[in-house]
């Protein structure tokens, strides 16, 4: 029988993206489409170009594709590399793995540092590989800032430092799909060459747009890179960041939404946005501790503030728990991906979110654990305590 | 300083109405207005007429006013009564008081049974007054089904029985503004003559529409009633319930929303809707018990399932608590009205609502009590327990 | 068979109200309802109060009712008059007649100056009646600024002058339902005591709100007026124009729309708004002249700029023409009302409207005349000529 | 000075795409995003898969990309071809040229049949090239069904017949970006191997989705094709057409809109949709004839029904005319593209459109010609006559 609460009230979309799209953004998208070659479009386009820079921490060009995030992965590679080029990646989880498959499909030579799916990209391991690569066969290091399958945030600045210490000229590419607009990110300061991003997480939009922020060095590389490319080619796109005109028909209505979302981030203030995500990440981890469950992430320095991945005890099925919670409480949680399938569920707490949405989310998980018969303590109370009177982060209090 | 979570995520509108308007209803309202004398409007109008009947439990006519609920109060009186007619009312709280003031302003002779604002209309007291009124000077008994200022639900069927026992011909008028579509209501079965309702509570619409459901007896009374009336006059309006055409320009876009809301109630099933509100009412009362706070309502038979009114301990200001919760957690709660000002706050849990919205709401109240320094126990845990494994209602378990 | 174009594209809602609601207004209405007792509502409410003044040309209070325009008619009367008071009205058409019926229903003593439904209120006739009323039995003169049934605009300033010449103390009440925000109107400058308005015409909103702008003299009258009133009573409402809080639950979402619409009028500039309506009125009259059809309005000084009422030749049915146009061209035109039924159709050209919408409208009428077999010349060409190179108005060129 | 009508009323978006998005579609897009791995998404996805088939006239798989139409061009090529493969194209205009540039960028060997930008792809010329290609070096013939830069519709069935007559195994690829859902198209019946389409024209959506309909033969080719591909790779995508799950995060909200648009096409009936576009195409050409201007298209068999491209007389600037019309009448028209820049303007009359929108559009052009001082006759009158009493098409009446 259909549970009584299912059809009423709002759905709690607590997968780690797409996130809950705010009313302001949905209503902005819900406007008549305009001529993409007219003056009003140009103003829209240039305003967005301006508003995007602080979010990426980038002063250089940022191109916008009508595509999913996987398109921006591909764009980063095809614009800067040539057939057979070696790419160094770190196996942090499912999304790093998917990105690496794209590299392979495109005919690149993949060097993947194996990982346990519980840690971020290891700056030391990367540094060692680069130091050993005296011939500079490695043309790019590509890592995932926030691995959405494991809720582990890699330390990009430390990776940058490792590359620099190795004195290696490889490009640094970073996937920020589930961190941008949620966890502090600094394209320029961290010396990132290509930042890959998507619309449907911290940017609070529906899925459908993807981004490449591009360094001078990446631009230079693109001039000689020989992978075939057309749709993803930066050359024509760069024009648009200056003139406001796109080389193809842009996804106008999504751009309306993007402008609104960027205004919302600006109004809240990026520092406040990051602090909010940090509070929610910490409160969620307090709840996990209270439940007596285990985080996938092992290193407190790498805890993600945009989502939390949690293991269920042996003998229980995380997807059965998720199905119960969806059925009974109208909440979607993230499934375990790849090799974590069935053993892990993920709580997204990013994007347009606040304390009471988090409280409702955590209550839903706790009631779901109850119903599923998974042994657990009380996680809600310590989470509420954390929200009320923020204590130092768990990581530091250990 | 603006708290970091304030500007992000959804507002928790937990006043006892207007309630959270569901996306489907808002989007239905957001359509081009049509000709109110054209065929498409007629279909809309007749479809609504059809869908309204089960919600009121009425087979007779139901007229729709573009007005607030107070207009429907006035309509009930002016259509059925003449200058100087006596009306018997019960002082159940602020809204009964406001309705009585309208009666007085309109030149009616008010007989108000005093009350302590903690009980519903007393069927026995009403019966006694009517029995004593052998001259049948009382022309109408007017009570509030669910007193929104106190969260007390009067027992309409018992009031009906008392009138019948007294053999008195007075009309029975009932205000269901905060109960219709949330708490079971039976216009026909309970022998109600005029039911007063509004759009912005259980019907899940924005404010702006109000209703009168009308019995045969009330219709008959309207033919001889002499209070001056025009806007509220049923005669022209009744036409519209048959033909679909209104005697004035109807609030077309609100009617779009009404149709959608009525479809939603129908899809969920009224029995499920009532059961959902009962679960949420009970869970909220478990929370209040856990907090060690006091309900305004004293009689478990009269606990409201659409909202809960709670007293704060002596020495604390309920409005300061509400302000804290609004500021810190972006949640609006109901203020204490009239003589309850500052001593009571109210939690609305009606309309488009579900378990996790309630959980978030109760967590917000509990965190607010913490911050405000109001001594309290843990109410969230017993509420969650009730939501997870519904126990018999508190009322019955005493 | 359903005509192929019927289901595609936009409906042309060219009745003289409700008018085409602009996207910005619909989307403003499509927002989550907020607490009508919270700070955000107060800001909304006070901003509207401020923006309304220039539109009415009134510095005094303007109250807003959740109601149709007919409610505001009633409000004007019940707040200022006492049972048996005499009201002088002018029979300009259907809406003047409907307003007079309200007066009668409320127990007022109606003195209606007969009219031919082709002229506005006659200042001289009004002056004569008032001069003859040496006992000052007439308490109010109530006229319709723009008679929507005939497309005749009364000369309010001249009526005011006639009252003044007669030295008569009667209040002046004016219905601006189909003129406000379209045809210049000056509540203060013209010495109007109560201005009646609605949301669904020049204000570009869906129906559901109505207004009374109130002079000092009307306010004074309201203190002694004895018609029973509650919902419409100004006293409690006046509070709201100062504090932003309403004495009842206001129609919040409609108020969102009102704020947006008022901003749109302000952005376009009222002078431009009036000039636009004047251009469209003139172009439409050029079309009528080209078609060789007859305007209902006989006096060029009284031609309406918000709509045009047109007679069909003897032997043709205006409603059959309207049905043809609706069926073939997906356009709604206004029907002939009251005694004009079947002989007249009306074109609304007010509200959110522009040259090409008018061109499409006039083309639709011309094609409809063709299909209906009504003899006619070419009206589109002179209308386009007028839109392209505005010539002096027809009225002046005679 | 800002013209008075500019800011009021609807914008006439009469570029040949993006087209006017209907309210139903915009409102469908304006819904909360859901979990793309949940059951509700699966239902959405499978429903769309089902509704797409009749629109393409294809029983085989149709993949949907979050991308612009140019992405679907690229997808068609990279999935079926290998580096150095020869592609035969016909230079029908700007879009054929752009597609050919993509082929070149991707390392294909382009054989472009030159054209005058006033005719469609020549079946005979194509047949000759193929007949001459006895070695079957040509792997694909790629043509544009409806060349949006010239308003010329190629005769795909005749091209198919020419290929068959030549007994050549080349794949047939067809761009239907500005014809699908407007001009009859039959992927299966015409033996097309890859159909390329976009969301923003006849499908009445905002830009952001693109499509490939795929024949068995194209599928077989994709298994051996060696152009590198990942984002555009059909293999993973085909899964989604069967299971409803996408290999990447799909553009959920655009898919909401697509479902609604497909329902609208189904409700109107595809035959009615095509007939409507044919009527509007013919009426527009009557207007052009009346104006005494010249169509770009020279062959009446190839007149486009979704847009019309018109030359301005020597000595006049088509873009100045467009700017005047935008400024004065708030209408966007299509610019001349590529070598037609400044000499041609284009009127889009496709998508969500009807007779009065067309009438308004043609009036706007005629008034613009007036203001721009371009000599012209009366085009509106013959266009209205055609809409009122459809005469045989111009093409046939010559």
A10 vs A331: CA distance, rounded Å: 9
CB contact under 8 A, A207 and D251: yes
- C293 SS3 class: coil
D148 vs D151: CA distance, rounded Å: 5
* Neighbouring subunits of A (3+ Cβ pairs under 8 A): B, C, D
D302 vs A235: CA distance, rounded Å: 35
B314 contacts: CB under 8 Å, gap ≥ 6: none
CB contact under 8 A, B332 and C38: yes
Does C23-266 match C12-16+269-397 at the fold level? no
Q: Determine the pLDDT at residue B2.
A: 37
Tell me the β-bridge partners of C64.
Answer: C211
Residue A7 has pLDDT above 90, yes or no: no
Q: Determine the pLDDT at residue D312.
A: 98
CB contact under 8 A, C388 and D378: no
CB contact under 8 A, B364 and A356: yes
The answer to whether A20 and A205 are in contact (CB under 8 A) is: no
Residue B395 has pLDDT above 90, yes or no: no
- Chain A CB contacts of B22 below 8 Å: 8-10
- Do the bridges between strand D307-311 and strand D294-295 make them parallel or antiparallel, or are there none, so unpaired? antiparallel
Tell me the β-bridge partners of B14.
Answer: B333
SS (H, E, C) D286-323: HHHHHHCCEECCCCHHHECCCEEEEECCCCCCHHHHHH
Mutate to test the interface with A, among D230, D257, D348 (most CBs of A within 10 A): D230
SS (H, E, C) D169-188: CCEEEEECCCCCCCCCCCCC
Q: Domain residue spans in chain B?
A: 12-16+269-397, 23-266
Helix (H) or strand (E) segment spanning residue D310: strand D307-311
B208 contacts: CB under 8 Å, gap ≥ 6: B66, B67, B68, B199, B200, B251, B254, C66, C208, C251, C253, C254
Q: What is the pLDDT of residues A59-73, one digit of tens each?
A: 999 999 999 999 999
Using a pLDDT cut of 70, give the percent of chain B over it: 97
Per-residue pLDDT, averaged over C25-50, amounts to: 96
CB contact under 8 A, D248 and A70: yes
- D397 SS3 class: helix
| B329-to-A14, A353, B1, B7, B101 alpha-carbon distances in Å | 19, 11, 14, 10, 36
Tell me the DSSP string of C343-363. Answer: TEEEEE--SS--HHHHHHHHH
The partner residue sitting opposite D381, judged by closest CB among C361, C378, C388, is C378
- Do the bridges between strand D209-214 and strand B62-66 make them parallel or antiparallel, or are there none, so unpaired? unpaired
- Chain A CB contacts of D68 below 8 Å: 66, 231, 248-251
A18 vs C232: CA distance, rounded Å: 49
Least Cα separation, residue B167 to chain C (angstroms): 32
Per-residue pLDDT, averaged over C369-379, amounts to: 98
In 3D, which of C63, C213, C348, C269 has the Cα closest to residue B33? C348
Per-residue pLDDT, averaged over D7-34, amounts to: 96
D63 vs D236: CA distance, rounded Å: 10
A167 vs A174: CA distance, rounded Å: 19
Residue C53 has pLDDT above 80, yes or no: yes
The partner residue sitting opposite C248, judged by closest CB among B30, B68, B252, is B68
Backbone angles phi, psi at C307, to 5 degrees: -155, 165
- Chain A CB contacts of B363 below 8 Å: 356, 359-360, 363, 380, 384
Mutate to test the interface with A, among C30, C33, C253, C257 (most CBs of A within 10 A): C30
> Which DSSP category does A196 fall into?
E
> Which DSSP category does B309 fall into?
E
The answer to whether C143 and C175 are in contact (CB under 8 A) is: yes
Least Cα separation, residue D7 to chain C (angstroms): 6
Tell me the β-bridge partners of B195.
Answer: B174, B213
Mutate to test the interface with C, among D363, D371, D378 (most CBs of C within 10 A): D363
The first and second tokens of residue C315, run together, are 């032997």
| D16-to-A34, A64, D151 alpha-carbon distances in Å | 12, 23, 9
SS (H, E, C) A95-122: HHHHHHHHHHHCCCEEEEECCCCCCCCC
CB contact under 8 A, D254 and A206: yes
CB contact under 8 A, C68 and B248: yes
Mutate to test the interface with D, among A6, A12, A16, A18 (most CBs of D within 10 A): A18
Architecture of the domain whose range is D12-16+269-397? Alpha-Beta Complex (3.90)
CB contact under 8 A, A31 and C27: yes
pLDDT band per the 50, 70, 90 thresholds, residue B394: low
The answer to whether B284 and B308 are in contact (CB under 8 A) is: yes
CB contact under 8 A, A27 and C30: yes
Q: Determine the pLDDT at residue C7.
A: 79
The partner residue sitting opposite C31, judged by closest CB among A23, A31, A32, is A23
Residue A147 has pLDDT above 60, yes or no: yes
In 3D, which of A15, A11, A12, A13 has the Cα closest to residue A307? A15
Mutate to test the interface with B, among A7, A355, A357, A358 (most CBs of B within 10 A): A355
> Which DSSP category does C391 fall into?
P
Least Cα separation, residue C48 to chain D (angstroms): 20
Least Cα separation, residue A186 to chain B (angstroms): 21
Q: Determine the pLDDT at residue B393.
A: 66
The answer to whether D274 and D63 are in contact (CB under 8 A) is: no
Task: Cite the beta strand spans of A189-260 per DSSP E.
Answer: 194-198, 209-214
Look up the ipTM and state it: 0.95
* Neighbouring subunits of C (3+ Cβ pairs under 8 A): A, B, D
The partner residue sitting opposite D13, judged by closest CB among A33, A207, A228, is A33
Helix (H) or strand (E) segment spanning residue C324: helix C318-329
The answer to whether D194 and D171 are in contact (CB under 8 A) is: yes
- Do the bridges between strand A194-198 and strand A171-175 make them parallel or antiparallel, or are there none, so unpaired? parallel
> Other C-beta atoms within 10 Å of D267: how many?
10
pLDDT band per the 50, 70, 90 thresholds, residue B389: confident
The first and second tokens of residue A313, run together, are 């005890």
> Other C-beta atoms within 10 Å of D83: how many?
13
The first and second tokens of residue D227, run together, are 């152009």
- Do the bridges between strand B138-144 and strand B86-90 make them parallel or antiparallel, or are there none, so unpaired? parallel
- Chain D CB contacts of A229 below 8 Å: 105
pLDDT band per the 50, 70, 90 thresholds, residue B396: very low
- D267 SS3 class: helix
**With b meaning 16 or more CB within 10 Å and e meaning fewer, what string describes D160-192?**
bebbeebebebbbbbbbbbbbbbbebebeebbb
A77 contacts: CB under 8 Å, gap ≥ 6: A87, A102, A103, A106, A108, A140, A142, A173, A227
> Other C-beta atoms within 10 Å of A321: how many?
22
CB contact under 8 A, B9 and A364: no
Q: What is the pLDDT of residues A163-172, one digit of tens each?
A: 999 999 999 9
Least Cα separation, residue A173 to chain D (angstroms): 18
Helix (H) or strand (E) segment spanning residue A284: helix A270-291
The first and second tokens of residue B116, run together, are 């302590």
The first and second tokens of residue B336, run together, are 């204490």
Q: Determine the pLDDT at residue C389.
A: 86
pLDDT band per the 50, 70, 90 thresholds, residue D396: very low
Class of CATH domain B23-266? alpha beta
The first and second tokens of residue C291, run together, are 């078609």
Q: Which residue in this structure is represented by tokens 């189909």?
A: C178
Using a pLDDT cut of 90, give the percent of chain C over it: 94
pLDDT band per the 50, 70, 90 thresholds, residue A390: confident
Residue D167 has pLDDT above 70, yes or no: yes
Sign of CA dihedral C353, C254, C184, C96: positive
The answer to whether B274 and B184 are in contact (CB under 8 A) is: yes
A313 vs A290: CA distance, rounded Å: 14
Per-residue pLDDT, averaged over D292-320, amounts to: 98
CB contact under 8 A, D249 and A68: yes
Q: Determine the pLDDT at residue B159.
A: 98
Q: Determine the pLDDT at residue C394.
A: 60
The first and second tokens of residue B187, run together, are 């216009």
Least Cα separation, residue A167 to chain B (angstroms): 41
CB contact under 8 A, D363 and C363: yes
Q: What is the pLDDT of residues C190-241, one digit of tens each?
A: 999 999 999 999 999 999 999 999 999 999 999 999 999 999 999 989 988 8
B350 contacts: CB under 8 Å, gap ≥ 6: B16, B17, B19, B178, B182, B201, B202, B277, B305, B306, B307
* Neighbouring subunits of D (3+ Cβ pairs under 8 A): A, B, C
Helix (H) or strand (E) segment spanning residue B368: helix B355-372
């Amino acid at each position: 029988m259909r549970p009584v609460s299912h059809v009423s009230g709002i759905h709690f979309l607590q997968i780690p993206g797409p996130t809950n799209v705010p009313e302001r953004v949905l209503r902005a998208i819900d406007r008549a489409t305009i001529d993409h070659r007219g003056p009003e479009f140009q103003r829209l386009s240039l305003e967005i170009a301006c508003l995007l820079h602080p979010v990426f921490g980038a002063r250089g060009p940022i191109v916008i594709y009508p595509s999913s995030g996987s398109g921006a992965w591909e764009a980063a590679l095809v614009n800067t590399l040539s057939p057979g080029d070696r790419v160094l990646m770190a196996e942090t989880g499912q999304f790093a793995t998917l990105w690496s498959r794209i590299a392979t499909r495109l005919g690149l030579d993949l060097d993947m540092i194996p990982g346990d799916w519980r840690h971020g990209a290891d700056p030391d391991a990367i540094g060692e590989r680069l130091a050993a690569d005296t011939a500079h066969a490695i043309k790019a290091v590509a890592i995932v800032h926030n691995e959405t399958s494991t809720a582990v945030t890699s330390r990009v600045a430390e990776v940058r430092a490792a590359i620099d210490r190795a004195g290696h000229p490889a490009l640094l590419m970073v996937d920020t799909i589930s961190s941008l607009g949620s966890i502090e990110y600094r394209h320029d300061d961290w010396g990132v060459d290509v930042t890959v991003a998507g619309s449907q997480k911290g940017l609070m939009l529906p899925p459908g747009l993807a981004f490449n922020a591009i360094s001078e060095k990446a631009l230079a590389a693109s001039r000689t890179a020989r992978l075939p490319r057309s749709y993803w080619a930066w050359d024509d796109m760069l024009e648009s960041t200056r003139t406001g005109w796109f080389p193809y028909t842009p996804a106008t209505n999504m751009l309306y939404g993007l402008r609104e979302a960027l205004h919302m981030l600006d109004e809240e203030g990026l520092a406040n946005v990051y602090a909010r995500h940090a509070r929610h990440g910490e409160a969620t981890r307090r709840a996990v501790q209270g439940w007596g469950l285990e985080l996938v992430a092992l290193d407190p320095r790498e805890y993600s503030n945009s989502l939390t991945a949690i293991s269920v005890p042996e003998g229980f099925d995380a997807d059965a728990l998720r199905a119960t919670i969806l059925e009974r409480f109208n909440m979607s949680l993230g499934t375990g991906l790849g090799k974590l399938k069935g053993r892990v569920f993920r709580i997204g707490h990013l994007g347009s979110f606040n304390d009471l949405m988090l409280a409702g989310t955590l209550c839903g998980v706790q009631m779901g654990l109850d119903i599923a018969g998974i042994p657990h303590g009380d996680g809600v109370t310590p989470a509420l305590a954390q929200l009320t009177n923020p204590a130092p982060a768990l990581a530091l209090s250990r």
